[in-house]
Chains A and B, each alone.
Chain A
Amino acid sequence: MGVGGQGTLLASRVLGSLFVDLGCDVKISEVHGMAQRGGSVVTHVRYGTKVFSPLVEPGTADILLAFEKMEALRWIHFLKEQGRAIINSQEIEPMSVIMGAYGYPKDLEDRIRKVCPGAVFFDALAVAKELGNIKVANMVLIGVLARLLDIAPQMWEKAIKTVVPPKTVEINLRAFHRGYNWI
Chain B
Amino acid sequence: MKRLMLGNEAIARGAYEAGVRVATAYPGTPSTEITEFAAKYDEIYAEWSPNEKVALEVAIGASFAGARAMVAMKHVGLNVAADPLFTVSYTGVNAGLVIVVADDPGMHSSQNEQDSRYYARASQVPMLEPADSQEALEFVKLAFELSEKYDTPVLIRLTTRVAHSQSIVTLGQRADVPLKEYKKLPNKNVMMPAMARKRHVEVERRMKALAEAANDLWINRVEMRDTSIGIIASGITYQYAKEALPNASFLKLGMINPLPRRLIESFASKVRKLYVVEELEPVLEEQIKSWGIPVIGKEIFPVQGELSANMILEKIAGKAPDVRPAQDLPPRPPVMCPGCPHRGIYYVMKKLRLHATGDIGCYTLGALPPLEAIDTCVCMGASVGMAHGMEKARGKDFSRRLVAVIGDSTFIHSGITGLIDIVYNQGASTVVILDNSTTGMTGHQDHPGTGRTIKGEAVPPLNLVNLIKAIGIEHVRVVDPFDLEEVEKVLKEETQREEPSVVIAQRPCALLSKEMKAPMSIDRDACRLCGVCLHLGCPAIEKKSDGMQINQALCNGCGLCVNVCKFGAIRRAGE
Collect the chain B residues with CB atoms within 8 Å of residue A52's CB. 239-240, 242-243, 246
B322 near A53 with CB under 8 A, answer: no
Q: Contact residue range for chain A?
A: 35 or more
Q: Which residues of chain A from 71 to 105 have a CB within 8 Å of any chain B CB? A: 71, 73-74, 76-77, 90, 92-105
- Asked if A16 lies at the interface with its beta carbon under 8 angstroms from chain B, I say yes
Complex Cα–Cα for A29 and B122 (A) = 32
The majority secondary structure among interface residues of chain B is loop
B321 touches A59 (CB 8 A): yes
Complex Cα spacing A34 to B365, Å:
10
Flag if B30 contacts A94 (CB, 8 Å). no
Q: Which residues of A contact B304 (CB under 8 A)?
A: none
Asked if B404 is at the interface (CB within 8 A of a chain A CB), the reply is no
**Chain B, range 78-122, C-beta contacts under 8 Å to A:** 108-109
In the complex, given contacts A33-B29, A103-B330, what are 5 additional A-B residue pairs having Cβ atoms less than 8 angstroms apart? A28-B165, A36-B334, A99-B534, A100-B543, A105-B330
Query: Could you mark each residue 155-176 of chain A with 1 if its beta carbon is under 8 Å from any beta carbon of chain B, else 0?
Result: 0000000000000000000000
Chain A nearest CB, measured from B362 CB (Å)? 7
B300 vs chain A, min Cβ distance (A):
18
B332–A33 CB distance below 8 A = no
When distances are taken between beta carbons in the complex, the residues of chain A under 8 Å from B242 are 52-53
A-B contact pairs, 5 of them (CB 8 A): A28-B166, A37-B336, A57-B309, A70-B332, A98-B539
Chain B CB within 8 A of A54 CB: yes
Q: Does chain B have a CB within 8 A of A20?
A: yes
Query: By the criterion CB–CB under 8 Å, are A73 and B329 in contact?
Result: yes
The listed residue (A54, A71, A101) touching B332 by CB distance below 8 A is A71
- Binary per-residue interface labels of chain A (113-127) against chain B in the complex, 1 for a CB within 8 Å, 0 otherwise: 001000000000100
Chain A residues with Cβ below 8 Å from B369 are 95, 99, 101
- A65 CB to nearest chain B CB (Å): 17
Residue A31 at the chain B interface, CB threshold 8 Å: yes
B308–A16 touching, CB < 8 Å:
no
Residues of A within 8 A of B3 (CB): 20
CB-CB under 8 A from A105, the residues of chain B are: 329-330
Q: Which residues of B contact A51 (CB under 8 A)?
A: 167
Chain B residue nearest to A51 in the complex (CB):
B167
Contact B323 A29 (CB under 8 A): no
**Complex interface bits, B242-263 against A, C-beta within 8 A gives 1, otherwise 0:** 1100100000000000000000
Q: How far is the CA of A25 from the CA of B170 in the complex (A)?
A: 12
Q: Which A residues are CB-close (under 8 A) to B243?
A: 52-53, 57
Bound-complex Cα distance A59 to B511 (A): 36
Contact A55 B29 (CB under 8 A): no
Chain A residues with CB under 8 Å of B365's CB are 37
Which A residues lie within 8 Å of B481 (CB)?
A: none
Are A55 and B324 in touch, CB under 8 angstroms? Answer: no
From known contacts A54-B239, A77-B324, A98-B534, infer whether A70 and B108 are also in contact, taking CB-CB under 8 Å.
Answer: no
Closest to A125 in B: B553
| Residues from chain B with Cβ under 8 Å of A28 in the complex | 4, 165-167
Q: Report if A39-B334 is in contact (Cβ < 8 Å); known contacts: A17-B4, A95-B537.
A: yes
Nearest CB of chain B from residue A11's CB, rounded to whole Å: 13
Q: How far, in angstroms, from A90 to B554 measured CA to CA in the complex?
A: 12
Interface centre among B166, B331, B543 (most CB of A within 10 A): B166
Known: A55-B308, A70-B332. A27 touches B32 (CB 8 A): no
A115 vs B238: C-alpha distance when bound (angstroms): 32
Is the CB of A148 closer than 8 A to any CB of chain B?
no
Which residues of the partner chain B approach A95 to less than 8 Å between Cβ atoms?
A: 332-333, 335, 368-369, 537, 539
Q: Does A58 contact B (CB under 8 A)?
A: yes
B366 to chain A, nearest CB (A): 12
Q: CB of A146 within 8 A of chain B?
A: no
B33: CB under 8 A from chain A?
Answer: yes
